[in-house]
Structure 1
Amino acid sequence: MGSAKEIIKMNRDEVATAIEEFPVAILPLGATEQHGHHMPLGVDIYLAEAMSRRLSERTGALMLPAMPFGYSWVWRDIPGTVSIQQHHVESIIKDVAHSVSRYGVKLLVLVNGHDSNKTSMKYAARELMDELDMPVIYMFYPNLEQIRSEICESPTWHGMVHACEFETSLMLAVKPELVNMEKAVKEYPEKPSLYGKSTISLGDLSKSGIYGDATLASKEKGEEMLEKYLDLMEALVAEAYDECNKE
């Protein structure tokens, strides 16, 4: 396993050499939004960066700077939140793809840390298929629930993970200095019948900003989950790259 190839720390010659060796780039996608009183607003950025860095170490792919903003409308009234429109997220992904394709990257890998980016990733990848001769694959914790349920003790809030045992454990593994477990709580808000069918949003439901039980989080759980997700991600990158070379 080598060191991560972060392009912001490399010069142009080093980037060119890395592309000749393995023409794959990773784009971490995050968001700036609340994650309870026990964690920073940059959780989705830190987690996307950590997964991307480790994936770069494993594969030799280039790691691009993380996208710090996503569609965070539900938290828009909480201090610190920055929300951009969903189609802007899609446009940024597409612009990045067009940029890296110009100098030899053959595969773009989107590593996402923010649930609401999933739609933008899917539609950007579909549009890029018709625009570029460079495939795009996108990942948000592959087999998320299977791995989460094997390691975490608490259930999700209706299948969603936010500032809970899951994300808190991952943060304890990658940025423990930014997690204050003394402020971690358990909260499963009541789900209104119109939730998902109206503008009732997550920001209207939870008092703590937590959906689940953050008190059960641990660094050990986070590390174990990260390794399992990275094993899957590494295999998916290898499969996608092999497909590129068949064409």
Structure 2
Amino acid sequence: MSMQKAKELIYMTRDEASKAVEEFPVAILPIGATEQHGHHLPLGVDIFLAEGISQKLSERTGAILLPSMPFGYSWVWRDIPGTISLQQHHVEAVIKDVAYSVARYGVKMLVLVNGHDANNTSMKYAARELMDELDIPVIYLFYPNLNEIMEEHCETPSWHGMVHACEFETSLMLALKPELVDMSKAVSEYPCKPMLYGKSTISLGDLSKSGVYGDATKASKEKGEKMLKIFVDEMEQLIQEAYKGVCSQ
């Protein structure tokens, strides 16, 4: 579809919202988190990335852009100042409430665009429960083909497959919100992984001194822009593919 201005719900009147639903009955919910991302990035990284991608998807597809969900499941950072963490089942409940809300006035499909890995479980189970409870499909997106894209565009490896305040996230922030990035404070840190990590309550908050998991010093705006375009292209295709199923019903 041709580019247009993002259809941001919070700036609409009730009449404009009604018209937007009639034009393309799909809503996008950006889901983020408020948690530490090292000394060089703000607490809202996951919000800014999910929201930035969602805005571009709204511009391309005409889908309604819902207000961003600013809190996620951030248990591992709970002792670091600034963290706001919801319980996992509360994240799931909010997603479901949003779906029930938009379905009442004609939205036919909900798209979840996530910027925070720990929210993926909540998205998956909310979508499954909604399939059995409500006649509205939900698709949930989190950096499609992430590992392949990182391998191609990032110089440094991830920390055991995880992305957090690293070259990847810092590059995306440089592409979307460069004014919020302080590269003079970027560091590289690959903490040792305890044997019981992932099998006990040992958490990320206990492992990294800087809060970085990877090498943030290698980040660049150019890398971020390239990866961002790939993600948005892929997500747009996924939205259009999912919407074909809605139209065929």
TM-score when scaled to structure 1? 0.99
Alignment partner, residue 230 of structure 1: 232
From 42, 47, 57, give the equivalent of 1:55: 57
For residues 151-190 of structure 1, the aligned pairs below 5 Å read 151-190=153-192
| Cα distance, 1:246 vs structure 2 | 1.1
SS of the aligned residue for 2:133 comes to coil
Aligned residue identity for 1:203 = G
For residues 42-121 of structure 1, the aligned pairs below 5 Å read 42-121=44-123
- Tell me the distance in 1 between the aligned counterparts of 2:74 and 2:102: 27
Alignment partner, residue 11 of structure 1: 13
Q: Which runs of 4+ in 1 moved over 2 A?
A: none
| Cα distance, 1:4 vs structure 2 | 0.3
Alignment partner, residue 26 of structure 2: 24
| Cα distance, 1:149 vs structure 2 | 1.2
- Tell me the distance in 1 between the aligned counterparts of 2:13 and 2:156: 45
| Structure 2 residue runs without a partner (length 5+) | none
- Tell me the distance in 2 between the aligned counterparts of 1:191 and 1:114: 21
RMSD of aligned residue pairs (Cα, Å): 0.5
| Cα distance, 1:145 vs structure 2 | 0.9
- Tell me the distance in 2 between the aligned counterparts of 1:244 and 1:150: 34
SS of the aligned residue for 1:95 comes to helix
How many residues in Structure 1 have an aligned counterpart in Structure 2? 247
- Tell me the distance in 1 between the aligned counterparts of 2:138 and 2:73: 20
- Tell me the distance in 2 between the aligned counterparts of 1:133 and 1:74: 35
Identity %: 76
Alignment partner, residue 239 of structure 1: 241
SS of the aligned residue for 2:211 comes to coil
| Structure 1 residue runs without a partner (length 5+) | none
| Cα distance, 1:236 vs structure 2 | 0.3
| Cα distance, 1:15 vs structure 2 | 1.1
| Cα distance, 1:18 vs structure 2 | 1.0
- Tell me the distance in 2 between the aligned counterparts of 1:61 and 1:125: 19
| Cα distance, 1:65 vs structure 2 | 0.3
